[in-house]
Amino acid sequence: MKKIIIALAAFALLVTPAIAADRGDKKDNGHGKKHWSYEGDTGPANWGDFSKTCATGKAQSPINIVRSDVITGHLAPIDFHYSDHAKNVVNNGHGIQLNLKKGSYIVVDGERFDLLQFHFHSPSEEQLNGKNQDMVAHLVHKSAKGQLAVVAVLFNADDKNDALKSIWEKMPSRAGDKESLGSFDVAAMLPENKAYYHFMGSLTTPPCSENVKWYVLQKTVSVGSKQLSAFRKLYYHTNRPVQALNGRVIVSGN
């Protein structure tokens, strides 16, 4: 356990310069009104034009999680405290995002992280043994100190997912549109077994800021084929390619 802590701490120090460099980047960086995308000259291969960290960072996400390389740790379970107070469903031009009112949070190692929003990518950005899943939800949290923590929930096409129904019914088809959603049971979207993989990483979109705590839940949940098709009609191939580990440690937790 001591070796794991030392390794994670060392990597946090390694990525600090990348975070500092990122703060001075211009959002367009000479592209005028162009914005990043998932393809073409504004796609992932050229995200360094929008933020240097996307190109030079050493702890970038997403990653391929090779199960045989994961270190078995004695990490505490994530303590979930999710309410059903939603705000709205937004089509932000890159995907579908649910914004939440205050009140939902997780506790990890005694530290509280408030849930700000979650959004979807299809196929999943994370890989398990080199394979993408059909979809992923990234639940973005922030501590009082400003530390980001993301919980990833992986989906595979199977039976319909009733927990997603209210979002899918309100899902805006045009970029920039949003629909009010008074409630959503976030906890119902999680698998029953909440064991996870933990590693240090980054945001998966520009500015690709690092020193983000990642918790990828090991068990997948289902999404209906019609639900998946409805999402992919709006946004398909919204996944950044997996990034090099660069010596990072992946630890399994309860």
* Tens-place pLDDT, residues 158-179: 989 999 999 999 999 999 999 9
Q: Which distant-in-sequence residues (6+ apart) come within 8 Å of 175 by Cβ? A: 91, 92, 93
Q: Is there a catalytic annotation at residue 94?
A: yes
Tens of pLDDT, residue by residue over 85-113, are 999 999 999 999 999 999 999 999 999 99
Average pLDDT, the chain: 89
Cα–Cα distance, 75 to 60 (Å, whole number): 22
**Among 94, 119, 121, 141, which one carries the catalytic annotation?**
94
Give percent of the chain with pLDDT exceeding 70. 87
Cα–Cα distance, 216 to 209 (Å, whole number): 18
pLDDT at 20: 35
pLDDT at 33: 56
Asked if residue 16 has pLDDT above 90, the reply is no
Q: Which distant-in-sequence residues (6+ apart) come within 8 Å of 84 by Cβ? A: 183, 184, 185, 186
Q: Which distant-in-sequence residues (6+ apart) come within 8 Å of 239 by Cβ? A: 38, 62, 121, 122, 123, 124, 125, 132
pLDDT at 92: 96
Cβ neighbourhood burial of 55 (10 Å; 0-12, 13-18, 19+): middle
Top-confidence residue, 16 or 143: 143
Cα–Cα distance, 44 to 48 (Å, whole number): 8
Domains of the chain and any CATH numbers: 61-253 (3.10.200.10)
* Terminal-to-terminal C-alpha distance of the chain: 14
pTM (2 decimals)?
0.88
Written as one letter, the residue type at 152 is A
Tens of pLDDT, residue by residue over 142-163, are 999 999 999 999 999 998 999 9
Of 23-32, 42-51, 244-253, where does mean pLDDT reach its minimum?
23-32
Q: Respond yes or no on whether the N-terminal peptide bond of residue 207 is cis (omega within 30° of 0).
A: yes
Q: To which residue do tokens 């019609």 refer?
A: 226
pLDDT at 254: 87
